[in-house]
Structure 1
């Protein structure tokens, strides 16, 4: 049974989330502030974290940074829950390592779909070999490690899956809708700017090698060697 840690200071909302998640077959743990949440991450090692952005004492962004900096918890996907829906807020959330971003108020059905989608993409699709080399990119699918021109790069689960998808479809243009479906697991209409934000993060982390990710204006992206 997969465990979801809910870090949310509104007790009624936290309990409602817990009820709906447990009805879907998940085990849940509730933390009502950031410090309690970080202690629960260490103690429980959950499969996914639902994290409110506005927490007493410690912002959700700081909690997310701490989770992603620790070797023990960096692999745990984080879904941020927030009333802030501006583009810059989403960008900040993704920059600190969030795997998804859900704006309050949200429907229970939407959140359950998001949770399932994020958990599905925790691991990459199986490949014929554990090691994939394209240009200066080397992906070890078993160890979940990526090196670019010999330097190891730390990617979030979503960033890893996005890069892996582009590498496995080398030279083929992928539309934003296709990437949302295959990387994020969305089967419903979603803001495709999420894809653009993650592509920007990939390029930044990869340095000069990020130029291999080409924008196909008005459609999507592809990866090709210079």
Structure 2
């Protein structure tokens, strides 16, 4: 598994493309997907050091995907950063108690995102 490989899931095309662009600029190998089901498919097909998941996606939410990741032994080393507009203490607690390694609230600083990714998986 390469920690430089990052899976980015967000149903908002603009946010997904911004995250992908900034992480690619920082030297990460990024795969973009639009929803939770595509995350599951991508994780079955390849290994990633980090998954950046939007919490509120249609169908399978980021929290649903996170639960699947945390119950699959083959994905035990995959770090997860939740990227979401949900900022209440209850939401943050739910994210971390479900198994998130980090939690970043939208709107976010692209620079902060890159620093948090580097802290989770290392610098490219």
- Short-chain TM bin: over 0.9
Specify the alignment match of 1:6 in structure 2: 8
Paired with 1:19 and 1:37, the residues of 2 have a C-alpha distance of: 18
Return the match for 2:54 from 52, 55, 64: 52
Paired with 2:108 and 2:46, the residues of 1 have a C-alpha distance of: 27
State the SS of the aligned residue for 2:7: strand
List per-residue Cα deviations over 1:15-47 (Å, max 9, x = no partner).
111111111000000110100111111212111
Instruction: Give the CA deviation at 1:59.
Output: 1.4
Specify the alignment match of 1:191 in structure 2: none
TM-score, scaled relative to structure 1: 0.52
Specify the alignment match of 1:15 in structure 2: 17
- Count of residues in Structure 1 that have an aligned counterpart in Structure 2: 120
Structure 1 unaligned residues grouped into runs of 5+:
121-226
Aligned residue runs from structure 1 range 134-173, under 5 A = none
Paired with 2:14 and 2:92, the residues of 1 have a C-alpha distance of: 25
Specify the alignment match of 2:104 in structure 1: 102
Return the match for 2:93 from 86, 91, 94: 91
Based on CA coordinates, which of the two structures has the bigger radius of gyration? Answer: 1
Instruction: Give the CA deviation at 1:91.
Output: 0.7
Larger RCO: Structure 1 or Structure 2 (Cα < 8 Å, ≥ 6 residues apart)?
2
Instruction: Give the CA deviation at 1:75.
Output: 1.6
| Root mean square deviation, CA, Å | 1.0
Structure 2 unaligned residues grouped into runs of 5+:
none
> Contact (CA 8 Å) 1:68, 1:75: kept in 2 or not?
no
Paired with 2:19 and 2:88, the residues of 1 have a C-alpha distance of: 24
State the SS of the aligned residue for 1:106: coil
State the SS of the aligned residue for 1:51: strand
TM-score, scaled relative to structure 2: 0.93
State the SS of the aligned residue for 1:80: strand
Paired with 1:62 and 1:34, the residues of 2 have a C-alpha distance of: 8
